[in-house]
Amino acid sequence: MKFLDLAKVYIRSGGGGSGAVSFRREKYIEFGGPDGGNGGRGGDVIAEAVDGLNTLIDFRYQQHFFAKSGQGGMGRQRTGRDGDDIILRVPVGTEILDEEQETVIADMTEPGQRIILAQGGNGGFGNQHFKSSTNQAPRRANPGQPGVERTIWLRLKLIADVGLLGLPNAGKSTFLAATSNARPKIADYPFTTLVPNLGVVGVDGTEFVVADIPGLIEGAHEGRGIGDRFLGHVERSGALLHLVDGTAADVVADWQTIVTELEMYDKTLAEKPRLTVLNKIDAIPDDELTKKRTDLSEAVGAEVMAMSGVSGTGVTEVLRRLREMVDRKEPGESGPAEEDEGAPWSPI
């Protein structure tokens, strides 16, 4: 299944049916009178969050969603049929934005959550509604209210407990493949990962969800590489795992590149609890590993863990630390989180 996390959709609710102008005329009945029924109500356009979806690809092939209009009223006091609603089924974690992509209409974070995006028009009154002691034979009826037409954007932000960050080829996909049943593409060239991947990771009898996003490079906030729009998929994470390639010539510079891109994207995201891990230690001599780890710890201002996603060295310890950070919102290298140490963490 192809991955799509942004879609433009055109919606229109149904218009209300018009009221009827009708008079009762029956043989052998002396008194008639108005009996025109009201029009039916137009259908709504509704968004519903559902389980089992992790892409907006369906909205690439169908972008127009129009609810049915209500039926007009009829004689014999018959009300017109209401128009059918139309439901947009979106993945959990979808944000619904107005046309300018700035105003958030709704954030669909719970399965079964529903919101009316465009309300159907009310049906018009038939002439029976206007009958009074001073107007025994009204000859007017109301038209139905028109439907609402608007353009919206759907933006998917995957819901995961932990988000993976790092430069291209930092070993993020290898880590996800080694710790879960996810099978992301792994290769020895940059930007192997082009779309986010989710994996369920288990440690010590507990499980949590990890999201792997395409790698960032310097200038990603300006559109270099794949850009930074995929960072939206880790905004909901309770903790971030920052992998640094231990075989790089300057691990501190690589770490700083990612931190800068986080800050340029959203300072709130940069302040999330973050665990920095030196990866690929199986390919580094011991003396070089010690120096790089020390230099990186000084730059980060917190403990830097070490592991190898290929050999599995240190992976379990990293998973345990991540589980603790998710459960207790334990501070990693981020400053503001230290003030909230020990505070319970609740998912969005």
Does 225 carry a binding-site annotation?
A: no
Backbone angles phi, psi at 324, to 5 degrees: -65, -40
- Encode 226-288 in three state secondary structure: CCCHHHHHHCCCCEEEEEEECCCCCHHHHHHHHHHHHHHHCHHHHCCCEEEEEECHHHCCHHH
Does 309 carry a binding-site annotation?
A: yes
Cβ neighbours around 299 below 10 Å, total = 17
Q: How far is CA 135 from CA 34, 85, 113, 131, 138, in A?
A: 10, 37, 48, 6, 6
Does 122 carry a binding-site annotation?
A: no
Helix, strand, coil abundance in the chain, percent, nearest 5: 25, 25, 55
Partner residues linked to 93 by β-bridges: none
Cβ neighbours around 53 below 10 Å, total = 17
Does 27 carry a binding-site annotation?
A: no
Which secondary-structure segment (H or E) carries 52?
none
Does 212 carry a binding-site annotation?
A: yes
User: How many Cα atoms within 13 Å fall on the side-chain side of residue 54?
Assistant: 13
Does 214 carry a binding-site annotation?
A: yes
Does 268 carry a binding-site annotation?
A: no
Does 127 carry a binding-site annotation?
A: no
Does 166 carry a binding-site annotation?
A: yes
Does 146 carry a binding-site annotation?
A: no
Distance CA 122, CA 39 (A): 8
Does 281 carry a binding-site annotation?
A: yes
Does 308 carry a binding-site annotation?
A: yes
Does 311 carry a binding-site annotation?
A: no
Distance CA 298, CA 34 (A): 87
Distance CA 191, CA 167 (A): 9
Does 342 carry a binding-site annotation?
A: no
Does 310 carry a binding-site annotation?
A: yes
Q: Which two tokens stand for residue 204?
A: 């010590």
Does 203 carry a binding-site annotation?
A: no
Q: Which residues contact 61 (CB under 8 A, 6 or more apart)?
A: none
Q: Which of 80, 50, 60 is CA-nearest to residue 68? A: 80
Does 262 carry a binding-site annotation?
A: no
Does 279 carry a binding-site annotation?
A: yes
Which secondary-structure segment (H or E) carries 57?
none
Residues 88 and 117 sit within 8 Å (Cβ to Cβ)? yes
Known binding residues are 166-173, 191-195, 212-215, 279-282, 308-310
Known binding residues for Mg(2+) are 173, 193
Known binding residues for GTP are 166-173, 191-195, 212-215, 279-282, 308-310
